[in-house]
Amino acid sequence: MSTVSAATLRGFITRIYVAAGVPEADAATVAALMTEADLNGADSHGVFRLPQYVRRMLAGGMNKQARPHIVEERAASALIDGDNGLGHLAVSLAAQTAIAKAKTAGVAWCGVRNGNHAGPASLYARMPMQAGMIGMYMAVGSANHLPPWGGLELLLSTNPIAIAVPAEEETDVVLDMATTVAAYGKVKVKAQRGEMMPEGWMIDRQGNPLLDPKRSSEGLLLPIGGYKGYGLALMLGLLAGTLNGAAMGRDVVDFNADDTSVTNTGQAILAIDIAAFGDPAQFRRNVDNLVRDLRDSERLPGTDRIWMPGEQSALKRREREATGIPIPPPLRAVLDTLADQVGAARLSA
C-alpha cells in the first residue's frame, strides 16, 4: 500500500479546502488536525472524511467561511456557536477557551452547538493534556445508529468519550471510545476494505447478528455492556448536545445521507488544571507508577502484553511518522476524484 508523509497529507488537505472556498488559515488548522488523526491511527476519522466534508460544503450544508464564537461565558464555562462550519474549528476554540479558563479557575467546561463532525474524540481531549492538564471530551455522533435498549428506532448515536491524562516518562494515557461495541467509522472502514464485521458489532431488526458492513444501514449497533452503554450514550448526548441547544435524539441529521440540512452538532470539553489539586510533576510520576504496575502485572494464559489506553495509538504514530500514512487504493481513488472536482493538485505518491 502506498504511503504519504504527514506534511504531504497536510498540504493536500489544505489545498483541497482552499480550492473549495475555505479561508487559508482555517484550512491549515483543520488539515493539521485531520492529519493528526491519521498519524494517530484513527483511519476512519482523518482524510477518509475529507470527501464527505467537502461534498457537504459544496452542497451548502456547511458554512465554508464560518466564524465560531463564544455566546455565553462565565469564569469556568462557555458556550460556543460553531456557525455551522467545520467541526474542528468550533471544538478547537472550545478547547482553547477551556484551557485558558482552567488556568485560573482550576477547571473549565465548554460546550459547542451549531457545529459539525470534528474527527476523533482523542484529538480534543489531548489539547488540555498538551497544556499540562487533564482533558475530557464528549460528542453527539453525526448519525443515529443505536436504538434505546429494547428498542428498534435509531434515536441515539455512538456518542463517544475521550479522556487524556499526562504521564511523565511513560506514554500518556488516552482513552477514546464509542459507547457502542464498534464505532460506526469502523463499520465504514470494513465496508471500504470489503471485510466482514465480527459478531457482536451489529444486529438486524429481528435481533440476529449482522456481519456484512455493506448492509449496515439495515442494522443496529450494539451498546457496550447492554443497557449500561445505552445509558452512557444517552447521558453523553444530554451533556454534549441538549445542554448546548444542539441536536440530540430524533433531531440528529444523518450526515452520511443528507448533505444539505444543518446538523447542529454538539460537543463538550472539560479541562482540569492538575496544579489546582497538587504538584503536577508528582501527579505524572504517580501515573507512571500506575502504568508500570498495570503493564507489568501477571497475565492471563495466552496474553502477550497488557496495553494502556492510547498506547497502540502512540506506537502507530511513531511508525507513521517514520514510514508515512498508508493510503489504501480505494481511498486514493476517491481523493483523486475530489482533487479533480475542486481543481486542486492530486495527492502525490
Surface-to-core class of residue 333, CB atoms within 10 Å of its CB (0-12 exposed, 13-18 middle, 19+ buried): exposed
Closest distance of CB 281 from a second copy, Å: 13
d(CA 110, CA 99): 10
SS3 state at 87: helix
Looking at 89, 134, 269, 339, which residue binds a second copy (CB under 8 A)? 134
What's the rounded Cα separation, in Å, for the pair 113 and 267? 7
Q: Which residue has the cell 441547544?
A: 245
Given 21, 60, 151, 343, the residue binding a second copy (CB under 8 A): 151
* Residue 150 engages a second copy in binding (rule: CB under 8 A): yes
Q: Which stretch binds a second copy (CB under 8 A): 8-16, 209-217, 267-275, 325-333?
A: 267-275
- Span interacting with a second copy, options 37-45, 152-160, 314-322, 341-349, rule CB under 8 A: 152-160
Strand partners, 271: 108, 135
Judged by CB under 8 A, does residue 250 bind a second copy? yes
Please state, in angstroms and rounded to a whole number, the distance separating the CA atoms of residues 94 and 151: 34
Considering only 6, 19, 243, 342, the residue that binds a second copy (CB under 8 A) is 243
Query: Closest distance between a second copy and the C-beta of residue 59, in Å?
Result: 28
Count the Cβ atoms, other than its own, within 10 Å of residue 16.
27
Q: How far apart are the C-alpha atoms of 10 and 33, rounded to whole Å? A: 9
Report in angstroms how near the CB of residue 226 gets to a second copy at its nearest: 8
Distance separating alpha carbons of residues 76 and 57, to the nearest angstrom: 33
- 166 with 172: CB under 8 angstroms? yes
CB of 30 to a second copy, least distance (A): 25
In whole angstroms, the minimum distance from the beta carbon of 257 to a second copy comes to 19
Provide the grid cell at 145: 445508529
Number of residues that bind a second copy (CB under 8 A): 78
Least distance (Å) between residue 250 CB and a second copy: 5
Interface of this chain with a second copy, residues 275 to 334, rule: CB under 8 A: 276-278, 283, 286-287, 289-290, 293-295, 297-301, 303, 305-309
- Say whether residue 147 binds a second copy (CB under 8 A): yes
Among the residue ranges 8-16, 39-47, 101-109, 115-123, the one whose residues contact a second copy (CB under 8 A): 101-109
Q: What is the amino acid identity at position 5?
A: S
132 lines the binding site for a second copy (CB under 8 A): no
